[in-house]
């Protein structure tokens, strides 16, 4: 009975036929009253995991969302699906706050959005205790953990929710969390024997391309013009100054581009955010201040002009493309100067040394994905401890393998040095021995007498660091101790030491090849699709909504495929629930019937 009602809510309210991934199991865990941690890929439907139970449960669901600027969009989207929701935050006027509280007290509202800072302020927490709270959902839960890639101190106080709502289940959601981060999240939130659900991290619709930097603006401009003319995308840069410079250069080249970073005025940020949400063919150039909580499903590309600081960050940021499941591109240019810049930023922070050691390892892994000759998707999934085929045929290394060289001799030199120094030292020391360093510690330990001492003096430190990164990446060696970052040999290294297998490395060759394609449709009715986009835009403007809140591209493609002629058939379209059918079916059916009559 329960599952039947849950499926009914999913279809009638949100227009989806079936639950995806672990959604139904997560929802049932919550309804059983169990604290739950859900790891789901960006675009995997995390919001359904609290929106559906919110409509099933009595009382109000509290959603803790990291960005106040996006709460109004989230509430508007729910309202458009016929779900009563509101938010409480510091941007509201006294009158707006009073109206929201009145709606909550009346029992009208099913979901209320609050910020992590706001929920633990005396006013909001005291008010919420007067309500019947059925569920507390914490979005972007990786921010709770100091091992997460977007750690926010305010999130660490959310464990106090157990004191305020001791009998209410907590749902924590994130797209990225390794084992260490998952353990920290459940500990920080004081979860009681939680259920943990980990869905596949694979975003099969995203094509990964990573190039060495040559002329980044020229490369980016060519990539957009060739693959994404008329599409919406996000370009990430490391610094505010670079964000503004890149946005200006894109505008000069004819792109509708806007800058977004925390140093802009609130009005400037709001304008960029609103334009991104409401307009087509927009390129936002931003720091990572832009992104968390983005709901727009039809972002067709995410580009990076600087190296992200971790694989988690890269996965999270690229995951903002193609949330509708249609083909999308994750494109990046990088240079070794990126590593130097990020390393300097890390070393100058006041973070604890243990945190810095973990962060250095994460940066090494991020560089490894750029340097690998193997499938990038396979690398990503292995990083998140998920098995996958060795080739995905949807990344640049699979589709257009570059030139490689066999580095087995250099790999053997590294492995031998690790072995001869008794597997007790980190990468920096191993490189010192290889290059014949006059380091006093090398001489004190007698390692200048070893046969491996100085056998790598003809190569640079960066060369040997590359070899070590790839040996780690391919599991020939491991980090035995994170505290000291000591390197140890894995069983797999025996064959390589004996010279029985290749150790392929990418030749450092700059190329402008872009292994990407335009998004293709299967219905071959692109003229109808464009007309439906125009209808959507008019409706959105009339109702003060973002176009994707009316219908996403996936729904429009479905209309082109199905060609519904009646309201009953319109309800068969993906993303059409009863509320949207009532509001919008007439105008879309009119356009579709006009198309059919002309065909």
pLDDT in tens, 193-222: 999 999 888 999 999 999 988 889 999 999
- Please give the C-alpha separations between residue 31 and each of 2, 129, 236, in angstroms, as whole numbers: 9, 20, 39
Q: Provide the token pair at 130.
A: 């007067």
Nearest partner of 162 among 140, 139, 194, judged by Cα: 194
CB contact burial 2-36 (16+ within 10 A = b; e otherwise): eeeebbebbbbbbbbeebebbbbbbbbbbbeebbb
CA 486-313-484 angle, 5° bins:
10
Strands 504-506 and 36-39: unpaired
Burial class (CB in 10 A: 0-12, 13-18, 19+), 266: exposed
Q: Which residues, 6+ apart, have CB-to-CB distance to 59 below 8 Å?
A: 131, 132, 133, 134
Question: What whole-number distance in Å separates Cα of residue 415 and Cα of residue 429?
Answer: 13
Q: Which residues, 6+ apart, have CB-to-CB distance to 364 below 8 Å?
A: 469, 472
Dmax of the chain from CA atoms?
89
pLDDT of residue 291: 66
CATH number of the domain at 407-504, out of 3.40.50.300, 3.40.1280.10, 1.20.1070.10, 1.10.10.10?
1.10.10.10
Q: Which residues pair with 332 in a beta bridge?
A: 210, 304
**Average pLDDT value for residue range 329-338:** 86
pLDDT tens-digit readout, 468-518 = 878 886 779 987 875 667 899 999 899 998 888 888 887 754 333 333 444
CA 108 to chain centre: 33
Same fold across 2-198 and 206-399: yes
CATH architecture type of domain 526-598: Orthogonal Bundle (1.10)
pLDDT of residue 61: 96
Nearest partner of 358 among 461, 478, 485, 488, judged by Cα: 485
Instruction: Tell me which H or E stretch contains 192.
Output: none
pLDDT tens-digit readout, 285-322 = 999 877 655 678 899 999 999 999 889 889 989 999 99
Confidence check: pLDDT of 97 > 50? yes
Structural domain boundaries in the chain: 2-198, 206-399, 407-504, 526-598
Helix axes 427-434, 461-473, angle to 10 degrees: 130
Q: Provide the token pair at 273.
A: 């955010």
Superfamily, domain 2-198: P-loop containing nucleotide triphosphate hydrolases (3.40.50.300)
**Average pLDDT value for residue range 155-169:** 89
**Average pLDDT value for residue range 155-166:** 88
Superfamily, domain 206-399: P-loop containing nucleotide triphosphate hydrolases (3.40.50.300)
Task: Kindly provide the residue ranges of all beta strands, DSSP E only, lying in 441-598, ordered along the sequence.
Answer: 477-481, 486-489, 504-506
Question: What whole-number distance in Å separates Cα of residue 465 and Cα of residue 310?
Answer: 17
Confidence check: pLDDT of 385 > 50? yes
Question: What whole-number distance in Å separates Cα of residue 547 and Cα of residue 483?
Answer: 50
**Average pLDDT value for residue range 68-88:** 88
Confidence check: pLDDT of 263 > 70? yes
Question: What whole-number distance in Å separates Cα of residue 401 and Cα of residue 373?
Answer: 7
What 8-state DSSP symbol labels residue 348? T
- On whether the CB atoms of residues 185 and 138 are closer than 8 A, the answer is no
Q: How confident is the model at residue 440 (pLDDT cuts 50, 70, 90)?
A: confident
Question: What whole-number distance in Å separates Cα of residue 333 and Cα of residue 320?
Answer: 18
Confidence check: pLDDT of 82 > 80? yes
pLDDT of residue 514: 39
pLDDT tens-digit readout, 342-372 = 877 777 777 777 777 778 888 888 988 988 8
**Average pLDDT value for residue range 4-15:** 92
The mean pLDDT of the chain is 87
> Around 453, how many Cα atoms within 13 Å sit in the side-chain half-sphere?
14
One DSSP character per residue, 121-146 reads SHHHHHHHTTS-EEEEEESSGGGG-T
Confidence check: pLDDT of 121 > 90? no
User: Phi and psi dihedrals of 370, rounded to 5?
Assistant: -75, -35
Confidence check: pLDDT of 336 > 70? no
Q: Provide the token pair at 285.
A: 């150039």
Q: Using CA of residue 129, residue 135, residue 141, residue 145, what is the dihedral sign?
A: positive
Q: Which residues, 6+ apart, have CB-to-CB distance to 499 below 8 Å?
A: 408, 412
């Amino acid at each position: 009975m329960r599952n039947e009602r849950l499926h009914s809510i999913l279809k009638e309210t949100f227009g989806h036929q079936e639950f995806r991934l672990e959604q139904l199991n997560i929802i049932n865990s919550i309804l059983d009253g169990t604290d739950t941690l859900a790891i789901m890929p960006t675009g995997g439907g995390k919001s359904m995991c609290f929106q559906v139970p919110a409509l099933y449960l009595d009382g109000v669901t509290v959603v803790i969302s990291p960005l106040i600027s996006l709460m109004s969009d989230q509430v508007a989207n729910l309202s458009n699906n016929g779900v009563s929701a509101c938010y409480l935050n510091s941007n509201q006027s006294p009158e707006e706050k009073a109206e929201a509280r009145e709606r909550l007290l009346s029992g009208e509202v099913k979901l209320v959005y609050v910020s992590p800072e706001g929920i633990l302020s005396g006013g909001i927490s005291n008010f919420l205790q007067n309500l019947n709270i059925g569920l507390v959902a914490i979005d972007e839960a990786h921010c709770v953990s100091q091992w997460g890639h977007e750690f926010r101190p305010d999130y660490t106080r959310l464990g106090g929710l157990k004191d305020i709502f001791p009998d209410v289940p907590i749902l924590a959601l994130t797209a990225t969390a390794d084992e260490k981060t998952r353990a920290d999240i459940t500990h920080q939130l004081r979860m009681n024997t939680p259920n943990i659900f980990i869905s596949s991290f694979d975003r099969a619709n995203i094509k990964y391309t990573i190039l060495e930097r040559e002329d980044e603006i020229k490369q980016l401009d060519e990539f957009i013009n060739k693959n994404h003319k008329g599409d919406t995308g996000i370009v990430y840069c490391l610094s505010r100054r670079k964000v503004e410079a890149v946005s200006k250069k894109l505008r000069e080249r004819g792109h509708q581009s806007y800058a977004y970073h925390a140093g802009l005025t609130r009005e400037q940020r709001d304008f960029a955010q609103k334009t991104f949400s409401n307009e087509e063919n927009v390129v936002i150039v931003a720091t990572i201040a832009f992104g968390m909580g983005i709901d727009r499903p039809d972002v067709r590309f995410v580009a990076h002009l600087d190296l992200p600081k971790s694989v988690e960050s890269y996965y999270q940021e690229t995951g903002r493309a193609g949330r509708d499941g249609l083909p999308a591109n994750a494109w990046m240019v990088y240079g070794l100067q990126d590593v130097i810049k990020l390393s300097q930023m890390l070393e100058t922070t006041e973070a604890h040394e243990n945190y810095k050691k973990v962060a250095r390892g994460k940066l090494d892994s991020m560089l490894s994905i750029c340097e690998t000759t193997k499938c990038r998707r396979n690398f990503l999934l292995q990083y998140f401890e998920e098995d996958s085929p060795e080739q995905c045929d949807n990344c640049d290394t699979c589709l257009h393998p570059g030139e490689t060289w066999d580095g087995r001799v250099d790999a053997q030199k590294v492995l031998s040095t690790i072995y001869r120094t008794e597997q007790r030292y980190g990468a920096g020391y191993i490189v010192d021995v290889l290059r014949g360093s006059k380091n006093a510690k090398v001489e004190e330990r007698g390692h200048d007498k070893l046969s491996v001492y100085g056998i790598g003096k003809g190569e640079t430190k960066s060369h040997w660091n590359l070899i070590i990164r790839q040996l780690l990446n391919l599991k020939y060696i491991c980090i035995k101790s994170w505290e000291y970052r000591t390197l140890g040999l894995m069983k797999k290294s025996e064959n390589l030491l004996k010279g029985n297998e290749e150790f392929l490395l990418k030749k450092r060759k700059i190329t402008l090849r872009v292994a990407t394609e335009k998004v293709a449709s299967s219905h071959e009715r692109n003229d109808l699709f464009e007309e439906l986009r125009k209808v959507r835009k008019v409706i959105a403007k009339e109702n003060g909504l973002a176009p994707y809140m009316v219908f996403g591209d996936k729904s429009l493609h479905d209309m082109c495929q199905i060609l519904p002629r009646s309201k009953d058939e319109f309800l068969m379209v993906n993303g059409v629930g009863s509320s949207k059918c009532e509001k919008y079916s007439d105008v879309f059916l009119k356009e579709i019937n006009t198309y059919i009559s002309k065909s």
